[in-house]
Structure 1
Amino acid sequence: MAIANQHPFDSLTPGRIVDAIEGLGLWIASEPFALNSYENRVFLLSDDDRQRWVAKFYRPERWSEAQLREEHCFLDELENAGVAVAAPWRDGQGNSLHRAHGFYFALFPHVPGQAPELDNPGHLFAVGELIGRLHAVSSQHVFTVRPRMEPLSLAKSSRERVLEGTWLTRSQRRAYARVSESLQQLLTRSVWPIQAAIRVHGDCHLGNILGRDDDFTLVDFDDCAMAPAVQDLWMMLTAQNEHEMRLQLSELLEGYEENMPFDRRQLEWIEPLRTLRLMRYSAWLVARWQDPAFPRAFPWVADEAYWDQHIRTLEQQRLLLEKPRWLA
């Protein structure tokens, strides 16, 4: 019974990790160090030349082989165009995606440094410039097998995932059902045209931008998709008042437009995208709960207080969608 209930990642032992990587012809000089990653399993290691690598073992059945290869080709395209990204290592035959012990995996060069400081105008400008450079390249072609971000279907599936579970009390279920239904209806106003979607990083938060001073690199393109350009920008806008947010936006877009024009009409999609991320995050936690890493990392998901707060946050988003901020 215990074996039947095992999660696939339970079989990814340190020995198997080393075996998989050394099977590529690299000699591992240090024991793999697990990094904070929950969707996949990611490890920091050094080879016998003291070069540091990040090994990513992909969650089984999340992406197809074709989707993973398209991500890697996208990264190669960006790197060849001079965009600062962490592109995957390729072996002598040109392969970047490898398979061992039932897992797809890839090696990426380790990117040292820290996340940008969003109260630093120079950092905001540099991040905007980097994302603009990314989009100047990514807008030249389209993904054929990677997903397309569709707000209505994503909101619907997230809502269903939460309501299908046993996480909510009776009163919380009623409140969540009501507010999530309202959000779905409001999101119908914010469906962007197909031609607005370009290839984007998809999960462009501070943890995926690393560097020193104002020299940054984008890492972890695991969520790259077709979506509007603003998807890679809105998470940099963290200010709580209008004046400071205007300053953040000004620096970010000034840097962005060094390389790529930005359609200001996309600012209308910031709150819808924030709403979608909030809904998807809770649904993601619920969907992944059988992975032992999740109860350990997110124990508060099982508390009523978390869901009370989540419902209040969604109510606040409903008000913002009904009466958009100045950005819209």
Structure 2
Amino acid sequence: MSDFSFQGVTPDTILDAIESIGLYPTSGLLPLNSYENRVYQFLADDQKRYVVKFYRPQRWTDAQILEEHAFTEELAIAEIPVVCPLKLEGQTLHHWQGFRFSVFPSIGGRALEPEQLEQLEDLGRHLGRLHLVGSARPFSSRPALIDAENLTEAVHVLKNCPLIPDSLHVPFFTILDVVVARLKALDWTAYPTVRLHGDCHIGNLLWRPEGLTLVDFDDCRQGPAVQDLWMMLSGDRMQQQMQLETLVEGYEEFMPFDTRQLRLIEPLRAFRIIQYMAWLARRWEDPAFPHNFSWFAEARYWEQQILALKEQLAALDEAPLRLQPGFN
């Protein structure tokens, strides 16, 4: 089955799959914002709202998906607010006509507001608790966040991407190769790793009446703890300093933070820039991608990426953020 075979996920297929595990939708299927998987919300005959997620074929193995499910269950048992897949018919991962899917409870909420420092401190507490659980043992099936192999693979994908204009090949790949070489030169093994959320950004954080809830562990991996913090930093250096100190103050109520990892923030940002380009290139055959990311095929985008990589290379040479002595 191709990576891009979501064409077979028709409304009838979705309904049949859901009914095969004992749920009976009484509403239409509302598509939710997800490009990597196919995700739909529905109301069932028990008057509860659910979300069904069909996993992209060949992205994860069954073992890797089940390891994600087990991790969220560990977090829930530790009373960390996360959204876990429901165990239906005795299991959390189901198969139907060659597709794999899971069902989750549908929860509402509003986005976390990082400018509200009390919310940011609460996120720090949640991440400290999450990483405390995540440090108990490593993932056995899910891959590491970053290593030389996935950097090499990302470059290979981009070098075979037909959307990069010929006139920009030399400047784009010249700066890309320099940035990748810098990332490969880092000794990533020198930093301790934990099981991470992996994609901790505002879109995966819901503020509810009872507090903050973390959703979508689809990208959970083994990596340095700072990965789950740095994406919440924005603005100028002074603003980022304040945000970082607020996060770490909450974090250290439950888990010590290794300040050496602050030097990984800009390398991780560079890695995300490269991985995002490679992700779009890999998925371009999926009809949803040209429709929603049409700018990826424009010369202007690649010109902007050359500039972004040059700026990121300069950022790699800047002094990392530091926690002020006695900040907490």
- What TM-score bracket applies, with the shorter chain setting the length? over 0.9
**1:53 corresponds to which letter in structure 2?**
Y
TM-score by length of 2: 0.94
Q: Percent identity?
A: 42
What corresponds to 2:71 in structure 1?
74
Of 248, 256, 260, which residue of structure 2 is paired with 1:253? Answer: 248
Do 1:123 and 1:213's aligned partners in 2 also have CA atoms closer than 8 Å? no
Of 289, 307, 321, which residue of structure 2 is paired with 1:294? Answer: 289
What corresponds to 2:11 in structure 1?
14
Is 2:273 the partner of 1:244?
no
Q: Deviations over 1:22-77 (max 9, x none)?
A: 11111111111101101100111111222111111000011111111111111111
Q: Deviations over 1:142-200 (max 9, x none)?
A: 11010112243222221221111212223311011111111122113433226611110
What corresponds to 2:44 in structure 1?
47
Determine helix, strand or coil for the equivalent of 1:196. Answer: coil
Of 110, 113, 128, which residue of structure 1 is paired with 2:109? Answer: 113
Of 81, 86, 96, which residue of structure 1 is paired with 2:83? Answer: 86
- In 2, Cα distance between the equivalents of 1:38 and 1:223? 13
Of 6, 21, 37, which residue of structure 1 is paired with 2:34? Answer: 37
Q: Deviations over 1:210-253 (max 9, x none)?
A: 123681111111111110101111100012x1221111111111
Do 2:3 and 2:58's aligned partners in 1 also have CA atoms closer than 8 Å? no
**2:14 corresponds to which letter in structure 1?**
I
Do 1:29 and 1:46's aligned partners in 2 also have CA atoms closer than 8 Å? yes
Is 2:87 the partner of 1:63?
no
**2:105 corresponds to which letter in structure 1?**
P
Q: 6-15 or 52-61, which moves further after superposition?
A: 6-15
**2:48 corresponds to which letter in structure 1?**
Q
**Number of matched pairs:** 323
Do 1:129 and 1:258's aligned partners in 2 also have CA atoms closer than 8 Å? yes
Q: 9-18 or 192-201, which moves further after superposition?
A: 192-201
What corresponds to 1:161 in structure 2?
157
Of 224, 231, 242, which residue of structure 2 is paired with 1:228? Answer: 224
Instruction: Calculate the aligned-residue CA RMSD, in Å.
Output: 1.8
Do 1:152 and 1:184's aligned partners in 2 also have CA atoms closer than 8 Å? no
Show the 5 A alignment for 1:80-229.
Answer: 80-93=77-90, 95-193=91-189, 196-212=192-208, 215-229=211-225
TM-score by length of 1: 0.94
Is 2:319 the partner of 1:316?
no
For structure 1, the residue ranges without an aligned partner over 5 or more in a row are none
Do 1:209 and 1:218's aligned partners in 2 also have CA atoms closer than 8 Å? yes
- In 2, Cα distance between the equivalents of 1:66 and 1:267? 32
- In 2, Cα distance between the equivalents of 1:173 and 1:92? 52
- In 1, Cα distance between the equivalents of 2:117 and 2:191? 32
Determine helix, strand or coil for the equivalent of 1:71. Answer: helix
- In 2, Cα distance between the equivalents of 1:325 and 1:199? 24
- In 1, Cα distance between the equivalents of 2:309 and 2:249? 31
Taking a change above 3 Å as real, the CA distance of residues 310 and 293 of structure 1, as seen in their structure-2 partners, is: same
- In 2, Cα distance between the equivalents of 1:180 and 1:278? 10
What corresponds to 2:326 in structure 1?
none
Determine helix, strand or coil for the equivalent of 2:231. Answer: helix
Is 2:274 the partner of 1:282?
no
- In 2, Cα distance between the equivalents of 1:263 and 1:195? 9
- In 2, Cα distance between the equivalents of 1:247 and 1:276? 24
Q: 317-326 or 293-302, which moves further after superposition?
A: 317-326
Do 2:37 and 2:55's aligned partners in 1 also have CA atoms closer than 8 Å? yes
Of 292, 303, 306, which residue of structure 1 is paired with 2:298? Answer: 303
- In 2, Cα distance between the equivalents of 1:119 and 1:150? 29
- In 1, Cα distance between the equivalents of 2:115 and 2:133? 28
**1:173 corresponds to which letter in structure 2?**
H
Q: Deviations over 1:90-113 (max 9, x none)?
A: 0242x1000012111001111211
**1:58 corresponds to which letter in structure 2?**
Y
Do 2:262 and 2:321's aligned partners in 1 also have CA atoms closer than 8 Å? no
Determine helix, strand or coil for the equivalent of 1:28. Answer: coil
